[in-house]
């Protein structure tokens, strides 16, 4: 294997499963004068890629893969298909603001809920928070899907007037609520996935490879979602 230079190495946390080197050049002072030293993996990119693909045989990652897949699969319909069909051009910009604003809110609320410290700490409370977060996602995301299904049903029965809602029309409220629910749920489930990976792999190369596998499966879901849009609109 080709030996990597310092500039090509990947910063990782300390982990017993990989070989690391510590460089003086990586020690940089912070504003308060503290020294931060990065541990760099000496493994080649081929080894890192192979380790990421081996996550396919990891039981935890296999169980979570459908969830990873959904985080990418849902967005092509939500933002590209639903948004472009049911909103006018001047309205879609406002709707995307609503979507991403609710993503920010969802990320903050979900992150603080999952990481909050109870008086009686333990795995039991963590499991309860994880289950509660997942149930909340199902409810909020399903609410957005029901609102979208109502729009789709109305569209199949209406062949005369335009399907697109304008920001000045009261009818825009229902699809806007669908966008708000989807934005909150999207950030919620992604924070949930990262929280689970952080719980399973606290540091090191295994954690970075788990995140790499998550992004691979998520991208696969996005690609298939965009591919299916063509058949959905026929």
Least confident of 23-27, 125-129, 173-177: 23-27
Give residue 9's pLDDT band: very low, low, confident or very high (50, 70, 90).
very low
The pLDDT-based confidence of 29 (bands split at 50, 70, 90) is low
CA angle 214, 142, 152 (to 5 degrees): 110
For 73-111, the pLDDT digits (tens) are 988 888 778 888 888 888 988 999 999 999 999 999 999
pTM for the full model? 0.73
Q: Compute the C-alpha angle 228/230/234, nearest 5°.
A: 120
The tens digit of pLDDT for each residue in 55-67 reads 777 788 888 899 9
């Amino acid at each position: 294997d080709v030996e990597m230079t310092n500039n090509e190495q990947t910063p990782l946390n300390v982990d017993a499963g990989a070989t690391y080197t510590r460089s003086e050049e990586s020690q940089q002072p912070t504003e308060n004068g503290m020294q931060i030293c990065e541990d760099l993996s000496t493994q080649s990119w081929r080894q890192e890629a192979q380790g990421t693909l081996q996550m396919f045989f990891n039981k935890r990652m296999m169980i979570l893969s459908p969830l990873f897949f959904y985080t990418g699969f849902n967005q092509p319909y939500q933002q590209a298909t639903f948004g472009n069909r049911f909103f006018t051009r001047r309205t879609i910009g406002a709707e995307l603001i609503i979507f991403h604003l609710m993503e920010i809110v969802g990320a903050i609320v979900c992150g603080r809920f999952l990481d909050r410290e109870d008086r009686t700490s333990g795995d039991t409370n963590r499991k309860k928070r994880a289950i509660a977060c997942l149930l909340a996602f199902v409810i909020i995301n399903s609410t957005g899907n029901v609102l979208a299904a109502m729009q789709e049903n109305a569209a199949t029965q209406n062949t005369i007037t335009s399907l697109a809602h304008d920001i000045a029309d009261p009818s825009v409220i229902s699809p806007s609520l669908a966008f708000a629910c989807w934005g909150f749920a999207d950030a919620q489930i992604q924070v949930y996935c990262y929280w689970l990976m952080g719980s399973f792999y606290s540091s090191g190369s295994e954690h970075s490879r788990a995140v790499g596998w998550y992004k691979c499966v998520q991208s696969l879901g996005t690609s298939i979602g965009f591919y299916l849009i063509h058949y959905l609109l026929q």
